[in-house]
């Protein structure tokens, strides 16, 4: 039996700070909070907007909106100050046991400030920071933010990273003098599972063509142009369709690339979608050629729906997508290799079926029910450690 299985649950009051918009860190924070609430914890979300995965009323969950009064002097509204003030309020009037911030910038430093203010009033609340990726690898290490990020990581009571790779990047880029615990991202297998959507599949691929899919926020780091270039090479050999799901800064360029290549008839830009599990259910391959990726939650969602993944080998992706097992990995930018792997899987039914099953088996290792207790246990450890210090 695992340590987590032995863990005796004690109800906690947990404050969760996250970005409410589309994006992996907000999804992980919201799904974690919902799962914690379902097992009896009292969860308080603190953000500037209702997190998009928190659409309906849920027992044990309260949402605290960070509102900020604008003033003509403020060219940039001081969000961090407003967040720290809201945290002080939420902790004080709800007796929170712990604050868990997702994405270091600016959440970890706002929580540190709130902690200091509360401490001056005789209230002690521990802070756990979860590092998600770009808060370290892209934005965090930039000189604009580095000193504050470094300080607030070292001054969090607990720090977790979503992959071994991200932990290593954090140790490489910053001067860290605190323990970092790796707690991987997870998937709710009740939501992400293959469902029968034959009519939908026929509508997209009327002649039974295989369907490739990419889901992201279309930021540069996702290399959407590599998705299209990989697809171009696949479709030059076999008929196929590509679904591009999501929206972001690179979308216009991607649309132009499809026009220039004359392959628009085989590609559908679907924009932001809610029911991605349904789209994944009709797909045969997921493409994730990212430049950098701490984990690759989108790949895990695909795998939970039985979709093998062709990805780059950047960052933490190899911890999720196992080469020649749940999919294939190639060097960043090597679209010829990615296309060759895609062709291999799409033209070998038996291999494709084996990879589908392997992908699902791998996703089960990241089942929410297995990972959530790791957070509960970690919270308890940090609360106990901090109590001992008071
Ligand atoms: O990928 C993004 O740009 C969004 C970003 C976020 O913070 O929302 O995603 C990061 O966190 C996800 C959840 O932990 C990870 O699955 C993604 O790999 C990570 N993105 C990058 O590292 C680029």
Read off the pLDDT of residues 134-165 as tens digits, 9 standing for 90 and up: 888 888 778 899 999 999 999 999 999 999 99
Q: How far apart, in Å, are the Cα atoms of 289 and each of 66, 125, 282, 304?
A: 36, 41, 21, 19
Residue 253 and residue 196: Cα distance in Å, rounded? 33
Q: How far is the CA of 262 from the centre of ligand 1 (A)?
A: 32
| Structural contact between residues 186 and 368, judged by C-beta atoms closer than 8 angstroms | yes
In order of their start, the domains of the chain are 3-186+368-389 (3.40.50.2000), 198-364 (3.40.50.2000)
pLDDT at 356: 98
Helix/strand/coil (H/E/C) assignment for every residue in 138-207: CCCCCCCCHHHHHHHHHCCCEEEECCHHHHHHHHHHCCCCCCCEECCCCECCCCCCCCCCHHHHHHHCCC
Q: State the average pLDDT over residues 2-7.
A: 55
Token reading at 308: 């093998």
262-288 burial string, b = 16+ CB within 10 Å, else e? ebeebbebeeeeeebbebbbbbbbbbb
Residue 1 pLDDT exceeds 50? no
User: pLDDT band at residue 4, thresholds of 50, 70 and 90?
Assistant: low
User: How far apart (Å, rounded) are the C-alpha atoms in residues 309 and 232?
Assistant: 17
Q: CB neighbours of 134 closer than 8 A, spacing ≥ 6?
A: 140, 221, 292, 294
Ligand 1 proximal residues by C-beta, below 6 Å: 23-26, 28, 103, 132-134, 137, 162, 185, 217, 219, 221, 292-297
Tell me how far the alpha carbon of residue 111 lies from the centroid of ligand 1, in angstroms: 21
C-alpha 288 – ligand 1 centre gap (Å): 12
Which of the 8 DSSP states describes residue 222? G
Q: Which atom of ligand 1 is nearest to the CA of 298?
A: 16
pLDDT beyond 70 at 226: yes
Burial string for 331-344 (b: 16+ CB within 10 Å, else e) reads: ebebbebbbbbbbe
Q: Distances from the Cα of 116 to the Cαs of 121, 123, 239, 316, 377, in angstroms? A: 9, 9, 61, 34, 25
125 pLDDT above the threshold of 80: yes
Please choose from 27, 51, 129, 294 the residue to mutate so as to test ligand 1's pocket, defined by most ligand atoms within 8 A of CB: 294
Q: What is the dihedral of CA 73, 79, 82, 86, to 10 degrees?
A: 160
The protein residue with its alpha carbon nearest to ligand 1, atom 5, reads 24
CA of 15 to the centre of ligand 1 (A): 21
Nearest residue by C-alpha to atom 7 in ligand 1: 25
| Ligand 1 centroid from CA 141, angstroms | 15
Q: Under a CB-based contact definition with an 8 Å cutoff, are residues 387 and 379 in contact?
A: no
3-class SS of residue 380 = helix
Could you please report the per-residue DSSP string of 5-59?
Answer: HHPPP---EEEEE---SSSHHHHHHHHHHHHHHHTT-EEEEEESS--TT--S--T
Mean pLDDT of the chain: 94
pLDDT of 6 higher than 70: no
Cα of 55 from ligand 1 centre, angstroms: 21
Q: Angle 65-69-71 (CA atoms, 0-180°, nearest 5)?
A: 155
CA of 135 to the centre of ligand 1 (A): 9
What is the number of other CB atoms lying within 10 angstroms of the CB of residue 367? Answer: 15
pLDDT digits (tens, 9 = 90+) for 82-96: 999 999 999 999 999
Do 121 and 38 meet the contact criterion of CB atoms below 8 Å apart? no
A 10 A CB-CB count for 216 gives 24
**pLDDT above 70: residue 5:** no
Q: How far is the CA of 216 from the centre of ligand 1 (A)?
A: 10
Q: What's the whole-model pTM score?
A: 0.94
Query: Which is nearest to 16 in space by CA: 6, 3, 25?
Result: 25
Answer yes or no: are the C-beta atoms of 307 and 288 closer than 8 Å.
no
State which of 295, 296, 375 you would mutate to test the pocket of ligand 1, scoring each by most atoms of that ligand within 8 A of its C-beta. Answer: 295
Quote the CA–CA distance of 45 and 89 in Å, as a whole number: 13
Mutate to test the pocket of ligand 1, among 134, 149, 317 (most ligand atoms within 8 A of CB): 134
> d(Cα 58, Cα 69) in Å, to the nearest integer?
29
Q: Quick one: average pLDDT of 317-344? A: 98
């Amino acid at each position: 039996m695992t340590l987590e299985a032995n863990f005796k649950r004690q109800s906690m009051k947990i404050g969760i700070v996250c970005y409410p918009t589309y994006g992996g860190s907000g999804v992980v924070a919201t799904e974690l909070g919902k799962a914690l609430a379902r097992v009896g914890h009292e969860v308080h979300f603190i953000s500037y907007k209702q997190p998009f995965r928190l659409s309906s009323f849920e027992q044990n969950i309260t949402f605290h909106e960070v509102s900020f009064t604008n003033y003509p002097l403020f060219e940039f509204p001081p969000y961090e100050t407003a967040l720290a003030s809201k945290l002080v309020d939420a902790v004080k009037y709800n007796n929170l046991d712990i604050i868990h911030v997702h994405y270091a910038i600016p959440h970890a430093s706002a929580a540190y400030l709130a902690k200091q203010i509360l401490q001056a009033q005789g209230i002690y609340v521990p802070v756990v920071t979860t590092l998600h990726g770009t808060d370290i690898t892209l934005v965090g290490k930039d000189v604009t933010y580095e000193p504050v990020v470094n300080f607030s990581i070292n001054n969090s009571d607990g720090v977790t990273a979503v992959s071994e790779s991200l932990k290593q990047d954090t140790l490489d880029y910053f001067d860290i003098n605190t323990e970092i615990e790796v707690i991987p991202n997870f998937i709710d297998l009740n939501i992400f599972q293959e469902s029968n959507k034959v009519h939908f599949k026929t509508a997209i691929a009327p002649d039974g063509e295989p369907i490739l899919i990419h889901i992201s926020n279309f930021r540069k780091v996702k290399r959407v142009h590599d998705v299209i270039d990989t697809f171009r090479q696949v479709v030059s050999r076999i008929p196929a369709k590509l679904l591009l799901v999501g929206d972001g800064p690179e979308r216009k360029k991607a649309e132009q690339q499809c026009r220039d290549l004359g392959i628009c008839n085989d590609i559908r830009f679907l924009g932001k979608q809610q029911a991605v599990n349904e789209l994944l259910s009709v797909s045969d391959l997921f493409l994730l050629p990212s430049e950098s990726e701490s984990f690759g939650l989108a790949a895990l969602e695909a795998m939970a729906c039985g979709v093998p993944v062709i990805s780059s080998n950047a960052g933490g992706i190899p911890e999720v997508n196992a080469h020649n097992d749940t999919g294939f990995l190639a060097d960043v930018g090597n679209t010829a290799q990615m296309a060759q792997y895609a062709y291999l899987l799409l033209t070998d039914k038996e291999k494709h079926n084996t990879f589908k099953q392997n992908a699902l088996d791998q996703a089960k290792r990241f089942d929410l029910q297995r990972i959530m207790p790791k957070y509960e246990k970690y919270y308890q450890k940090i609360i106990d450690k901090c109590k001992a210090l008071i």
